[in-house]
Structure formats: structure tokens, C-alpha cells
């Protein structure tokens, strides 16, 4: 299958054959599994203080006919505070999980292993499948991207890697036909006390000659070199079909693989 190559003015200057990786079957289940395995490595272990709820003088008196005895007082046999001068504070239960200010029954522990494992071949196949999904118009539209009548994937001339100004990148995206996509990125949502910015296009390049500085100022738009391309770039949230813009040299490098 051939796709057009655009120059910086948004004009078609030729066509190129897509690598065989774009014919890979799209496995959404495998992509999600690989994404969760990747994100699990970034999770920080957490736990409570081992002495939380245990710093108390409460203890249990189980002997009959002694001072402060717990027997025959219609009280549950729990560790309680003793020797309090205030009447309502006497025999207040502590330490046990069901008591006020008691310890937690099953607290989170830092020893818990959060990392999810995935086979090397499965991870590679998931990345291939996510790359193939960038050429599927159905998957891209399902993610909410506004692409109009563009043929996917979008391939652009290597000169874009030398652009260092944000306004020039925005102008190129509009000339290609992604003006509605840029408008979509401006619609922020408020969730969990912060703004949620939609994920926009992903630039896949071979060499950074200043484009990373220009792209970093556009909310929702990311950039990645072809050698470091991962499942977290191609399928944010574990959902495949991200709108991806490849440079001509990035496509040629995929053919070599």
C-alpha cells in the first residue's frame, strides 16, 4: 500500500510503500496487557508505618477480683486504657483494628510486588500491532481524532525535524489538514481537581534537530524517536489508534526492520 508524502507546505511530493509491520493484525487485548506491564514498572511502592495504631499504653486485664479487672464488667475483652481520671475515658479500647484509633487490619506493605511481567515476544508483537493501528482509520477515529479525509498514516518530509518554532509546527499541521484536530486539543476537561488535556498527534522522527523544543509547547502533542518508540507512545491508556505523523526517514527505518 502506498501513502503520500507531504512537504512543509502541505503539498504531496511523492508516495512511499508502507513497511510490512503495518499489515500486522491489531490485537487490542495484547496492546492493553503490554501497556499495563509497562506502566506497572513506574509505580512507586507504598505502605503504612509499622507502628501506626500501636503507640498506646492500652493493655488487657483478664484477672478476676483485681483493680481495673475486665471480668464481670460487661465489657468486651479488648486492650483498653487504664488509670484515666475522666470517667468516660476509662476503659477506652485501643490497639485492635475494630477500636477507635486502632491499627489497620491489613495495611498496604512496601514489600508488595506491583510489576506485571510480559514475554519479550508478546511485547514486541504488541508494539507491532500498535504501529499497524496507526494506519487504521477506524481505530484512529475511535480514539476521537479529527482527521477528515486524510490517508493514514501521515508521512512528512524530513525537513520538519529542523523546525524549532511552535508557530511553524502549528502552521504545518493546519496545511496538512489537521486544523480540527488542533481545535479538539483546546477543549480541556476538569477531572480530579486538574485539567485533562486530550492526547493529540504523535511525531515519530529519526533525529532531533530542534523539533522537540517546538512540539513541547503544544499541549497533547508528543514526539519520539523511532528507536525509542514504545507502547506508551502509540497507545496512551492502553487504547490503540493514536494519530501518528511519521517522517520519511522513520518509515524507511521501519522497512529495514
Asked if the model's pLDDT at residue 88 lies above 60, the reply is no
Query: Residue 90: its pLDDT value, please?
Result: 66
How do residues 221-239 score in pLDDT, each as one tens digit? 999 999 999 999 999 999 9
* Band of residue 248 on the pLDDT scale cut at 50, 70, 90: very high
Q: Left (φ > 0), alpha (ψ -120 to 50) or beta: where does 88 sit?
A: alpha
* Band of residue 156 on the pLDDT scale cut at 50, 70, 90: very high
Can you tell me the mean pLDDT for 90-95? 84
Task: Give yes or no for a contact between 154 and 246, defined as CB atoms under 8 angstroms apart.
Answer: yes
How do residues 96-147 score in pLDDT, each as one tens digit? 999 999 999 999 999 999 999 999 999 999 999 999 999 999 999 999 999 9
Distance in angstroms (rounded) separating the CA atoms of residues 230 and 212 = 17
pTM: 0.83
User: Which cell numbers in the block locate residue 15?
Assistant: 508516495
Which domains does the chain carry? Answer: 2-27+114-256 (3.40.1370.10)
Can you tell me the mean pLDDT for 47-71? 86
The candidate with the shortest Cα–Cα distance to 227, out of 199, 253, 246, 196, is 253
Amino acid at each position: 500500500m502506498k501513502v503520500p508524502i507531504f512537504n512543509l507546505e502541505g503539498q504531496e511530493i511523492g508516495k512511499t510503500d508502507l513497511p510490512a509491520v503495518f499489515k500486522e493484525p491489531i490485537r487490542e487485548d495484547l496492546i492493553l496487557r503490554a501497556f499495563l506491564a509497562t506502566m506497572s514498572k513506574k509505580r512507586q511502592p507504598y505502605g503504612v508505618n509499622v507502628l501506626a495504631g500501636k503507640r498506646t499504653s492500652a493493655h488487657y486485664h483478664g484477672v478476676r477480683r483485681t483493680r481495673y479487672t475486665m471480668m464481670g464488667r460487661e465489657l468486651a475483652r479488648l486492650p483498653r486504657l487504664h488509670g484515666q481520671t475522666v470517667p468516660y475515658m476509662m476503659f477506652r479500647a485501643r490497639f485492635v483494628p475494630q477500636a477507635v484509633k486502632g491499627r489497620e487490619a491489613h495495611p498496604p506493605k512496601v514489600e508488595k510486588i506491583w510489576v506485571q511481567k510480559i514475554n519479550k515476544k508478546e511485547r514486541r508483537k504488541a508494539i507491532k500491532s500498535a504501529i499497524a493501528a496507526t494506519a487504521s482509520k477506524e481505530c484512529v477515529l475511535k480514539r476521537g481524532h479529527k482527521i477528515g479525509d486524510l490517508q493514514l498514516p501521515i508521512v512528512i518530509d524530513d525537513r520538519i525535524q529542523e523546525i524549532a518554532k511552535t508557530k511553524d509546527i502549528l502552521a504545518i499541521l493546519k496545511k496538512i489538514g489537521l486544523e480540527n484536530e488542533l481545535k479538539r486539543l483546546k477543549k480541556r476537561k476538569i477531572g480530579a481537581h486538574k485539567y485533562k488535556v486530550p492526547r493529540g498527534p504523535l511525531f515519530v522522527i529519526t533525529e532531533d534537530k530542534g523539533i522537540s523544543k517546538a512540539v513541547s509547547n503544544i499541549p497533547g502533542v508528543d514526539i519520539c524517536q523511532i528507536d525509542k518508540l514504545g507502547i506508551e507512545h502509540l497507545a496512551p491508556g492502553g487504547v490503540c489508534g493514536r494519530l501518528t505523523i511519521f517522517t520519511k526517514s522513520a518509515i524507511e527505518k521501519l522497512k529495514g526492520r
